[in-house]
Amino acid sequence: MSPERLARINAMLDKRQPDLTICMEEVHKPHNLAAMVRTADAVGVHRVHAIWPDQKTKLSGGTATGSQNWVDLKSHANIVDAVKALREQGMQIIATNLSDTAVDFREIDYTKPTAILMGQEKFGITKEALELADQDVIIPMVGMVQSLNVSVATALMLYEAQRQRQEAGMYDTRTLDDAECQRLLFEGGHPIFAKICRQKGLPYPRVDEEGQIDASDDWWQKIQMNKDSWEHLDD
């Protein structure tokens, strides 16, 4: 890994916010999914959550332009399982919804561990999701339409969270745990070796302070490949 690549990855890891996330409830249009993940990466979200009951929806490239390689995706079969996982991390659950109980999205304290629920494109947040949320919010609008595209709404809320967190100094100290930092350093700095490890079922070795692989002789022996194997990496 080049020094420039190492510096760029470390700069990203320094800003990651492991206690800020979005949870996409059956958002299924590829361009929306990709745009939401791209925004999440841009504001330092480490992991996003998605509820896909049929397990057929997948995150692909497109407008994400590689962001999916840096943002971890956790899938859930239903909203109950998703919220349970978020609650176990101590997160407040915020849902976007046009209702009498909703408050302006800027009134929320996003410096707290926060998960933002975003609903499906056509129908929005489900009733079950709203019942599980701590607070529903609205994005004030004065035009003829009453809602924004889900990816646009996500961007507005995440950048408000970023603004609050920056003012609170939450981007000044690395908070992502070492294991996750090592995973991203290895996968991002040594992608070919990471692919070999996955193919062979080998654990990732550590990446040292100079961005080089710090592995035992035994690991290097196991990683050896013949020409056919190397060519297979490009398949």
Q: Looking at residue 230, what is its pLDDT?
A: 40
> In this model, does residue 187 exceed pLDDT 70?
yes
First-to-last CA distance in the chain? 23
% of the chain surpassing 70 pLDDT: 89
Question: Is 21 annotated as belonging to a binding site?
Answer: no
Residue with tokens 């908070």: 175
Question: Is 96 annotated as belonging to a binding site?
Answer: yes
Q: Looking at residue 61, what is its pLDDT?
A: 47
Average pLDDT over residues 140-165: 90
Name the CATH superfamily for 17-167: SPOUT methyltransferase, trefoil knot domain (3.40.1280.10)
Which residues, at least 6 apart from 46, have a Cβ–Cβ distance to it below 8 Å? 16, 17, 18, 21, 71, 72, 176, 180
User: To the nearest whole number, what is the mean pLDDT of the chain?
Assistant: 87
Ranges 11-20, 102-111, 120-129, 182-191: which has the least confidence: 120-129
Helix locations, 30-172, DSSP H: 30-42, 79-88, 127-132, 150-167
Boundaries of every domain in the chain: 17-167, 178-232
Average pLDDT over residues 30-52: 92
> In this model, does residue 34 exceed pLDDT 50?
yes
Question: What's the pLDDT band for 9 if we cut at 50, 70, 90?
Answer: very high
% of the chain surpassing 90 pLDDT: 61
Question: Is 20 annotated as belonging to a binding site?
Answer: no
